[in-house]
Amino acid sequence: MRQGKKSFSHESLQDSDSIRAMLESITNGFAKGRIAFSDEDDEIVMEPRGLLHTRIKAGQEDDRHQISIRVSWQRKDGLAKRKKSLKVSGG
């Protein structure tokens, strides 16, 4: 990773099995407290700890379907917002 760089971005077309594998890797990273993202150009390592702010959006418009998942946290303990409970079903 270049010195001072604080972000990582990657965009590509993947099949649903590849997306599932990526999400499983991210899930395992949350469990272990360390998530690394890398490609041919860059890498970033993150250490999620404590309470994490989560935002999930899903939408449909004509033939376009989209799911957006955002997780963020601060390195120092701060006040966390609590919202309504979320239920996710896979089938």
Could you tell me if residue 23 is left (phi over 0), alpha (psi between -120 and 50 degrees) or otherwise beta? alpha
Which residues does 88 contact at the CB level (< 8 Å), separation at least 6?
56
Please give the residue that has the higher pLDDT: either 80 or 18: 18
Model confidence, pTM: 0.71
Q: Convert the pLDDT of each residue in 14-69 to its tens digit.
A: 999 999 999 999 999 999 999 999 988 888 999 999 999 999 999 999 999 999 99
- Higher confidence at residue 3 or residue 71? 71
